[in-house]
Amino acid sequence: MVSTAIQPAIDARKVVKNFGETAVLRGLDLSLPPGEVTVLLGSNGAGKSTLLRILAMLTQADSGSVSIYGVDLAEDGPAARGLTGSVLHSPMLYADMTGRENLMFFASLYRLQNIDELIARTAAQVGIESTLDDRVRTLSHGFQKRVALARALMHDPRLLLLDEPESGLDSQSVSRLDDVIDEYRKAGRTVVMTTHIVEHGLEIADRAVVLSGGVVGLESSSPGQDRAVILAAYSLSPEQGPWQGPAA
């Protein structure tokens, strides 16, 4: 029998992550369909960045399972990482290499072909053509973030993970980032991003997920309409536990 069910882009089940005595994720379940832009919301310490780091395979869950497009992270890490592009808090670039040298180096790790052409195309996409041959150390934080975005896009990943991507960016860079996200959505790819600029997040997202108390407190597939409820759930601190729904 052929299954007609759509394979989720992300399927996380009973994910637990503790840092010492502090429980950050407490049995989180999350299934996200492909081809959507999902914004992860939550107050500081809600576990958004931890969840993204687990998805990017920079940290391991203490228990539970996570798969990306059906590939279990624990079973085939390299394959799962090949499906994913990530821009996390820090640009993670070699400061004494130029943007082009950084991209060439990472392209070789991703075993990409036609690297020069690929770099030219991605650089144009994120608007770094003019600074590509400058050492990263000399670039502004905004341009460093753009180079990091180019690195994440170079291998055309099916899932793009962005952790507060707009932090430190000027309005022009944020607008370009929105364009990239929109192009990704149109190409049927999946984007999962965290943000503290909630209004902006709700504006560009197809789906909003609010983390509270280490689990999914609220999930909405129409964030524009559910704005008030999402904002109420977002304002909960981690100590207040999961969202229990609107007060009667």
Partner 1 sequence: MRDSLAVIWSIGRKDLLLELRNKDVVVAVAGFALLVLVIFTFSLNLTPDIAKLVGPGVLWAAVAFAGVTGLNRAFALEVEGNTLEALMLAPISRDLIFLGKALGNFLFITVALVVVLPVFAVLFNLVVFRWEMLAISLLTAIGFSSVGTLFAAMSVRVRAREVMLPLLFLPVVTPLIMAAVESTSHVVNGRSWSDMSQWLQLAAAFDVVFIVVSAFVFQHILED
Give the interface with partner 1 as residue ranges (CB under 8 A): 56-60, 77-79, 81-82, 84, 86, 88, 90, 92-97, 101, 105-106, 108-111, 151
Which residue, 88 or 198, is less far from partner 1 as judged by CB? 88
Phi/psi for 95 (5° steps) reads: -65, -30
If you ran DSSP here, which 8-state letter would residue 50 be given?
Answer: H
Of 97 and 174, nearer to partner 1 (C-beta) is 97
CA distances from 190 to 21, 47, 68, 163, 248 (A): 34, 20, 11, 14, 36
CB of 229 to partner 1, least distance (A): 35
44-to-142, 172, 197 alpha-carbon distances in Å: 23, 27, 13
**Nearer Cβ to partner 1 (58/197):** 58
CB 69, min distance to partner 1, A: 13
Closer by beta carbon to partner 1, 43 or else 190: 190
Q: Is the dihedral of CA 238, 243, 247, 248 positive or negative?
A: negative
Task: Give the nearest distance from C-beta 60 to partner 1 in angstroms.
Answer: 5
Beta strands in 8-109 (DSSP E): 10-19, 22-32, 37-41, 63-68, 71-72, 84-87
| Residue 104 beta carbon to partner 1: minimum distance, rounded to whole angstroms | 9
- Minimum Å distance from CB 19 to partner 1? 9
**In whole angstroms, how close is the CB of 237 to partner 1 at the nearest point?**
26
Which pair of structure tokens corresponds to residue 2?
């052929």
**Rounded distance between C-alpha atoms, residue 51 and residue 61, angstroms:** 9
Structure tokens at 6: 């759509």
C-beta of 82 vs 241, nearer to partner 1: 82
Taking the least distance from each CB to partner 1, the nearer of 77 and 245 is 77
Rounded to an integer, what distance in angstroms lies between the CA atom of residue 185 and that of residue 39?
A: 13
